[in-house]
Structure 1
Amino acid sequence: MFDMETADGLSSIELMQPGYLAVLALLPVVVVLARRSLSGLGRVRGGLAICLRCLVIAVVSLALTSPEWVQTTDDQSVVFALDQSDSVPRAAREDARQFIRAASAGMRPAKDQIALLGFDGRPSVEQICGPEFVADHVGAPIEPHRTNVAGALRLGLALLPADTAKRIVVLSDGNENVGSAAEEAEICAALGIPIDVLPLQYEHGSEILVDQFSAPAAAKQDEVVSLRLVLRSQAATGARVFLYHNDRQVRDGAGPTGGFDVQLAPGPNRFTIPVALRAAGVHRFRAVVEPAESAADTLATNNEARAFTIVGPAERVLIISDTAMDPAQINETSAALLARALQQGGIECVQMGVEELPADPAALADCSAVILSNVSAFALGEARQQALASYVRDQGGGLIVVGGDQSLSVGGYGYTPL
Structure 2
Amino acid sequence: MESIGNSGPSTAPVREETQGETFKLNIDFIKFDSPVFLLIAALVAVTALLYRKRDSYPSAQTQWPAVLRFITIGLILTGLAGPQFLKLTNNKCILFIVDISQSIHEKEKEAVRNYIRLKIEEKGKDDRVGVLLFAEEADLVIPPSGLSMDLLLSEASRLMESHEAGRGFTDIESALSAAVKLFPEGFQKKIVLITDGNENTGEASRLFDDLKSMSITVDVLPVGGVNHDEVLVESLHAPFEVRAGSPFTLEAALSSNTETTGSLQLIVDGQEKGFLKDQFKIVPGHHQIYRFPVVIEKSGLHDISVKLRAEQDGFFINNRAETVIFAAARPKVLFITDPASNNPRGPLKHLGRLLTDNSIDVEYLPADLLPAVSK
Structure 2 length as normaliser, TM-score?
A: 0.38
Greater relative contact order structure (CA < 8 Å, 6+ sep): 2
Between structure 1 and structure 2, the one with the greater Rg is 1
